[in-house]
Amino acid sequence: MGDKISRRTLLKSAVVAGTGSILPVPAMAASLGASASAPGNPAKPDRVLPLSSSSGVYVPPRGESFMKFSFDFPEPSVEFAGLQFSFRVYTFENTYALDREQMTVEDKSDGLEVSCSGFVWAGGQEKAPGRLRARFHKNGTFIEWDARIEMEQPVKSIAAIVRGVPRGKISAGGQRFFDPKDDELLFGYPFGGGALFIARGLNTPLLVIQQGDNEFFFLSALNQAVRANRFYLQPGERSYRAELVYEREGWKKSNTLESPVWRAGAVASQEAAFQPHFKHVERAFNIPDWEKREDVPDWLRNVALAVSLHGMHWTGYIFNDYAKMQTILRWVASQIPAARVLVFIAAWDGRYYWNYPLYQPEPRLGGEAGFKALLETGRQMGFHMMPMFGINSANERLPEFSKFADATTAQIDGDPFYLNWVDWDNDRHMEGWMPYMNVGVGSWREWLVSRIDDVLSRYPADAYFLDIAGGWENNTKADTHVGTQQLVADLARKHPGVLCCGEMHYDALMSFISLYHAFSEFVYPAAVTKYARFFQHLSHPAPGRGSSGVHESGFSKFDPETLSLNELAIPTLTVVDDTFERYQNVMAQIIARAKHRAGIA
């Protein structure tokens, strides 16, 4: 890890092209044969630093790395408030950098304006028409900037390139800090920001870097709508070269693109690094406080325990049928008041994922009569029952698929997007029969509403669970965030008071969904606890061998001391095939801890 840089040093330093080191700005200007323009003068080329994509970073990489150009791509940069800024533009056919010869820099009363009347491509060997205008200003101690692009062809995305970002431990949107050493890092918002399996996921577009006990630095995108954002950090000796990528909505094409406002700042506390971003998020997406939410039923505020009952695996293996689930609930009711328990029924509809999206009781589990008896008996005892549905999963081999086949997802470049990241049959190859479905498309949303409505109408339940609800994916057809919001609103009209629960979250989703699994913001819990509640994931290990039940992750270590004692989530008990018969004593211990946590005698 490089040496720590104080805020004062940061604001007086700049990266020298190709060296990986940092020198004061005057020394850098001299080394480039340039002199700074006097404040207020119109833009001059000597205010633009002739940097390239390899300036100030390790070449070759010293740790884990990502794909990149194998040559120097121009990145003419402008100094503002101790950082160096450039931009890169992506169309659907190539990558463009600013043409240094056509850049102007003008001081403004509150900051700086950069204009460029042309671009270069092919690593600077060719030129192309186009325009960019970027504005920089100080907002208190923070730096804020945005950019507008015009090209002759449709613009896909824009990257703000920032040098001078200090190295340190990283927190991705409130998740735990970690030391990346010399690794390059890529983070994506939301759901990987269009780079699933490559990028670490962000629930909000914010990175916080901790240099020391009282030294923090942050980078954030102040979105006004849910859009793909990616943050790439490339290390040098003491600082990062950062790319802040903003990708336009894939269902619209335009020759212009306006970025969100990006913000950066050096602060003295963790709270000061996180809190301003989440204040913006709350305002931008109108997220209500938990204590004032009208979509939270009274019973949820009193839930002390979640019980995840696992039904049928993808292969058809039965963990618990409906009758056994009733037996388990009768025993649970003898240990804790049933009214304080949320019962999550995973894979109640037969083969997990394979039967998506039929959502019908499975004959081998007990059929319609058995499922109805389970929900009716559970509610009569006082439990709050919640069956599971998939919001973006459909088996294309089912005959019903033709009814909503137009709602499959293609990513922004037009390539089909499949939910193909699970090896269900254990042949050591991911399965490929499940296209990722777009809830923004009417045919799929209407199918889901009709199926969930049918289940809630025929089988009494207090809530419904949306699998991968946080899976927003930029695509060519429709906004999945808007589609999810409409689906939840449609079901709320049909079934007022029935709670919607989601798997995974991103910031804007909390505006209309108040309960999730699973919790991740351990460094800055207020990012979510101010607005929503969480219970633990259905794959959390069950007592004994640590089975994940219907989930694909298999087995992991069961730790009775930590599983139910996460104070930031509702204690959760996972029940698989052998849990009730062999580990009833452990179940009782977990329930006792949950009761103690909730103050239940």
**Which has more pLDDT, 194 or 124?**
124
Domain with CATH 3.20.20.70 in the chain: 305-598
The pLDDT score that the predictor gives to residue 164 is 97
pLDDT at 422 over 60: yes
Tell me what the mean pLDDT of segment 197-204 comes to: 91
Name every residue whose Cβ is closer than 8 Å to that of residue 55 and which is 6 or more positions away in sequence: 15, 16, 17, 18, 19, 75, 163, 241
Distance CA 484, CA 472 (A): 9
How do residues 507-518 score in pLDDT, each as one tens digit? 999 999 999 998
Residue 429, both tokens? 């190859």
Residue 442, both tokens? 């009417």
Contact predicate 89/64, CB 8 Å = no
Least confident of 5-19, 230-244, 429-443, 574-588: 5-19
Q: Is the whole-model pTM more than 0.75?
A: yes
The pLDDT score that the predictor gives to residue 576 is 98
pLDDT at 172 over 50: yes
Confidence of residue 565 (pLDDT cuts 50, 70, 90): low
Confidence of residue 3 (pLDDT cuts 50, 70, 90): very low
Distance CA 208, CA 270 (A): 8
How do residues 324-376 score in pLDDT, each as one tens digit? 999 999 999 999 999 999 999 999 999 999 999 999 999 999 999 999 999 99
CA angle 410, 416, 422 (to 5 degrees): 115
Domain with CATH 2.60.40 in the chain: 7-285
The pLDDT score that the predictor gives to residue 518 is 85
CATH number of 305-598: 3.40.50.1580, 1.10.1060.10, 1.10.240.10, 3.20.20.70?
Answer: 3.20.20.70
β-strand pairing of 142-150 with 126-139: antiparallel
The pLDDT score that the predictor gives to residue 562 is 64
CA angle 44, 258, 109 (to 5 degrees): 45
**Which has more pLDDT, 7 or 597?**
597
- Helix or strand (DSSP H, E) at 163: strand 155-166
Name every residue whose Cβ is closer than 8 Å to that of residue 195 and which is 6 or more positions away in sequence: 186, 188, 230
Residue 484, both tokens? 């999810």
The percent of residues above 70 in pLDDT, for the chain, comes to 92
Q: What is the mean pLDDT of the chain?
A: 92
> Angle, to 10 degrees, between the axis of helix 367-381 and the axis of helix 322-333?
10
The pLDDT score that the predictor gives to residue 211 is 95
The pLDDT score that the predictor gives to residue 293 is 96
Question: Smallest Cα–Cα separation from 186: which of 141, 130, 229?
Answer: 229
The percent of residues above 90 in pLDDT, for the chain, comes to 88
The yes/no answer on whether domain 7-285 falls in CATH 2.60.40 is: yes
Confidence of residue 44 (pLDDT cuts 50, 70, 90): low
How do residues 272-291 score in pLDDT, each as one tens digit? 999 999 999 999 999 999 99
